[in-house]
Homo-oligomer: A and B are copies of this chain.
Amino acid sequence: MSRKRKERIVIVGGGFGGLYTAQAMRDAPVAVTLIDRRNFHLFQPLLYQVATGSLSPEDIASPLRGILKRVKNATVLTGEVIDLDPERRVVILEDGDEVAYDELIIATGASHHYFGRDAEWEEVAPGLKTIEDAVKIRRRVLLAFEAAERESNPERRRALLTFVIVGGGPTGVELAGALAELARHTLRGEFRNFDPTEASITLVEGLDRVLAAYPEALSAAAAAALQAKGVTVRTKTTVTEIAAEHVIVRDTDTGEQSLLPTHTVLWGAGVKASPLSEALARRVGAKQDRSGRVKVLPDLTLPGYPDIFVIGDLAHYEQDGAPLPGVAQVAMQQGEYVADVLRRRRFDKAIRPFRYKDKGMLAVIGRNEAVADIGNLHFHGFLAWLIWVFVHINFLIEFDNKFRVMTQWGWNYVTRKRGARLITGEAEPVWLQLPLAPGRGVAVPEDVEELIEAG
Asked whether, in the complex, the Cβ of A150 is within 8 Å of the Cβ of B423, the reply is no
Task: Tell me the minimal C-beta distance from A94 to chain B in angstroms.
Answer: 8
Question: Given A59-B56, A132-B425, A425-B425, A419–B66 Cβ distance below 8 Å?
Answer: yes
Are A190 and B69 in touch, CB under 8 angstroms? Answer: yes
Q: Give the complex CA separation of A62 and B436 in angstroms.
A: 22
- Of the candidate stretches A19-27, A73-81, A352-360, the one touching chain B is A73-81
Is B400 a contact partner of A411 (Cβ separation < 8 A)?
A: yes
A73 closest partner in B (C-beta)? B192
Given A69-B189, A403-B407, A411-B400, A58–B419 Cβ distance below 8 Å?
yes
**Among B62, B131, B190, which residue has its beta carbon within 8 angstroms of that of A66?**
B190
Chain A 21-58, CB-CB to B under 8 Å as 1, else 0, gives 00000000000000000111000000000000000111
A286 at interface, CB cutoff 8 A: no
Contact of A422 with B69 in the complex, beta carbons under 8 Å? no
Asked if A4 lies at the interface with its beta carbon under 8 angstroms from chain B, I say no
> In the bound complex, what is the Cα–Cα distance between A248 and B189 (angstroms)?
54
Given the complex, which residues of B lie within 8 Å of A398, measured CB to CB?
Answer: 419
The answer to whether B424 and A401 touch across the interface, beta carbons within 8 angstroms, is no
A162-204 residues with Cβ-Cβ distance < 8 A to B are 187, 189-193
Kindly state whether residue A408 has any CB partner on chain B within 8 Å: yes
List the B residue with the shortest CB-CB distance to A80. B436
Which residues in B have their C-beta under 8 angstroms from that of A96? 437
- Contact of A132 with B411 in the complex, beta carbons under 8 Å: no
Given that A97-B437, A436-B97, A437-B97 are known contacts, is A423 also in contact with B61, CB under 8 Å in the complex?
A: no
The count of chain A contact residues (Cβ–Cβ below 8 Å) is: 59
Q: Contact between B423 and A38 (Cβ–Cβ < 8 Å)? A: yes
Taking CB atoms, residues of chain B closer than 8 Å to A192 are 75
Please report the C-alpha to C-alpha distance between residue A109 and residue B419 in the assembled complex, in whole angstroms: 24
Mark contacts of A425-455 with chain B using CB atoms, 8 A cut-off: 1 yes-contact digit, 0 otherwise. Answer: 1100000000111001000000000000000
Known: A56-B56, A422-B40, A437-B97. A77 touches B150 (CB 8 A): yes
Report if A87 contacts B (CB, 8 A). Answer: no
Q: Which B-chain residue is minimally distant from A189 (CB atoms)? A: B69
Assess whether A411 is in contact with B419, with CB atoms less than 8 Å apart.
no
A284 within 8 A of B: no
CB of A95 closer than 8 Å to a CB of B = yes
Contact A61 B190 (CB under 8 A): no
Give the chain B neighbours of A75 by CB distance below 8 A. Answer: 149, 192-193
Question: Which residue of chain B is the closest to A417 with respect to CB atoms?
Answer: B400
Instruction: For A67, give the chain B residue with the smallest CB separation.
Output: B190
Listed by A's residue number, 9 A-B pairs whose Cβ atoms lie within 8 Å are A38-B422, A63-B422, A69-B190, A77-B149, A78-B146, A78-B436, A97-B436, A135-B424, A407-B407
Besides A65-B190, A66-B419, A404-B411, 10 new A-B residue pairs in contact (Cβ under 8 A), listed by A number: A39-B423, A65-B187, A66-B190, A75-B193, A78-B149, A95-B440, A97-B150, A403-B407, A407-B407, A426-B426
A interface residues with partner B (beta carbon < 8 Å): 38-40, 56-59, 61-63, 65-66, 69, 75-79, 93-97, 131-132, 135, 142-143, 146, 149-150, 187, 189-193, 398, 400-401, 403-404, 407-408, 411, 415, 417, 419-426, 435-437, 440
